[in-house]
Amino acid sequence: MSAAGTGAAGTGAARSDASPIAAHTAPGRRGVVVGPVGLAWRPLVFWYTVAALGTAVLLVVLGVAIGSTWITPVTVVRSLLGLETGPDAFIVENLRLPRVLTGALVGLTLGVAGALTQTFTRNPLGTPDIIGVTSGASVGAVAAIVLGGGTYSVSAIVLGGGIPIAATIGALVAAVAVYGLGWRGGVQSYRLVLVGIGVSATLDAVTSYLLVRAKITAAAAASQWLVGSLSSTSWTTVWPLLVVAAVAVPLALATSAALGIGQLGDEVATGVGLAVQRHRLVVIALAVVLTAAAVAAAGPVGFVAFVVPQIGLRLAGTNRPPLLLAGALGAVLVLAADLLARSAFPWQVPVGIVTTVVGAPYLIWLLVRHRKEMSR
């Protein structure tokens, strides 16, 4: 659902006479006001979001159940509720659940980050994958791996503390570079995308240089991580990602109204009182934090931030990707891809390969479609 009231990005204040949770009626649209955040009631978006979240829950149970040892879904649920003990409960709680939860949270954060960047750039290509944020996070994380010792088993403490911070710094530097280089009295979406592609190529070259100069063990660990994998996840991976999602996703939802106003153009948005540049900085910061958290946890899982917002937009029939629906669909995509990667092949395929196989043809189709529209 998208917000109809005023978000936390500085778009104005809610009515002083509004109760904490009060019914609010707008012309032709119902909604509620929860503190400073107004939520429009769009039944189609709501029910698709509920369906996506329900599917994600089912995939979590199925993902925990499937493995080298089959565990019945009933046992999985009982273990999650603390009603089961023994070997099965140990497998569920300590071996499989962290991986599945990491996949769900990675999909959620990437889906919301992609919806944010696609909306404020008003361009379906304006995703963290394309505009350099993911590449920046990758440079930071690879540098942490290479300089921190190289393997998860030898330097788990260094990597656990270093990767999230290094990935966030790398993503932030990349975002600042893209935004600064793309600024010409304002930021145009296509200029931002073109600059982002150039910055991404440069950062990918830096990553390659780090791999070439690294020791064999460090290069092997970084190369496995760069594919996008959930194989090395644990509870120490889940908790930081969960904290980021719990804080950043609600803040992103609170910017929904400002994102809607921004779709009208900078002049109109400024005319109705939106602090455009401050709002964009808030949106970029949220997208950077969400992307960096996902990349730090599982590596650059490709095309999730690109594909799921567009799927959500087409399902809901809205003029911009619904944030929460995009996040729910992202969780579904990553969970389904990981389940397929673990069960459809005689060896475990990294989840990033599966999402790339799904997303790359969609990118080609979108580019071809846009070219045809431009030639009319």
Q: Output the pLDDT for position 309.
A: 92
| Average pLDDT score over residue span 169-192 | 80
pTM, to two decimals: 0.81
The token pair that represents 225 in the structure block: 């991580």
Other beta carbons less than 10 A from residue 292's beta carbon: 32
Contact 337, 354 (CB under 8 A): yes
* Percent of the chain predicted with pLDDT > 90: 28
* 188 belongs to a structural domain: yes
Q: Is residue 217 part of a domain?
A: yes
Which pair of tokens denotes residue 289? 């934090």
Residues 105-127: tens digit of each pLDDT: 999 999 999 999 988 888 887 88
Going by pLDDT thresholds of 50, 70 and 90, the confidence category of residue 360 is confident
DSSP code string of 347-364: SPPPHHHHHHHHHHHHHH
Token digits of residue 347? 């060896």
With respect to residue 11, please indicate whether it lies within any of the assigned structural domains: no
Residue 6 lies in a domain: no
Over the range 357-373, which residues count as b (16 or more CB within 10 Å of their CB) and which as e? Answer: ebbeeebeeeeeeeeee
Q: Say which DSSP state 25 is in.
A: E
On the question of pLDDT at 160 being above 50, the answer is no
Q: Is there a domain that residue 160 lies in?
A: yes
Quote the pLDDT of residue 153.
37
The answer to whether residue 230 scores a pLDDT higher than 50 is yes
Q: Tokens representing 71? A: 């565990």
For the cut 70, the answer to whether the pLDDT of residue 81 exceeds it is yes
Assess whether pLDDT exceeds 60 at residue 104.
yes
> What is the extent of the structural domain holding 39?
21-375
Q: What's the confidence (pLDDT) of residue 275?
A: 74
The CATH number of residue 47's host domain is 1.10.3470.10
Asked if residue 177 has pLDDT above 60, the reply is yes
> pLDDT averaged over the chain?
80
Sheet of 29-34: strands edge to edge?
Answer: 21-26, 29-34, 37-40
Question: In this structure, what token pair is assigned to residue 273?
Answer: 């009182």
317: how many CB neighbours lie within 10 A of its CB?
A: 10
Q: Is residue 1 part of a domain?
A: no
Q: What is the mean pLDDT of residues 26-38?
A: 50
CA of 94: how far to CAs of 88, 230, 339, in Å?
10, 14, 18
Q: Which of 54-63, 250-259, 278-287 is the most confident on average?
A: 54-63
12 found inside a domain = no
Read off the pLDDT of residues 279-332 as tens digits, 9 standing for 90 and up: 878 888 899 899 988 988 888 998 899 899 989 998 888 888 999 999 999 999
Helical axes 97-121 vs 43-65, angle rounded to 10°: 150
Total count of domains within the chain: 1
> Between the CA of residue 30 and those of 7, 33, 45, 105, 256, what are the distances in Å?
17, 10, 14, 31, 16
Structural domain includes residue 10: no
| Among 54-63, 211-220, 252-261, 356-365, the range of highest mean pLDDT | 54-63
Average pLDDT over residues 31-40: 53
| Alpha carbons 350 and 245: distance in angstroms, whole number | 23
pLDDT band at 371 (very low <50, low <70, confident <90, very high): low
The full DSSP string for 279-306 is: HHHHHHHHHHHHHHHHHHHH---TTHHH
Closest CA to 103 of 233, 286, 227: 233
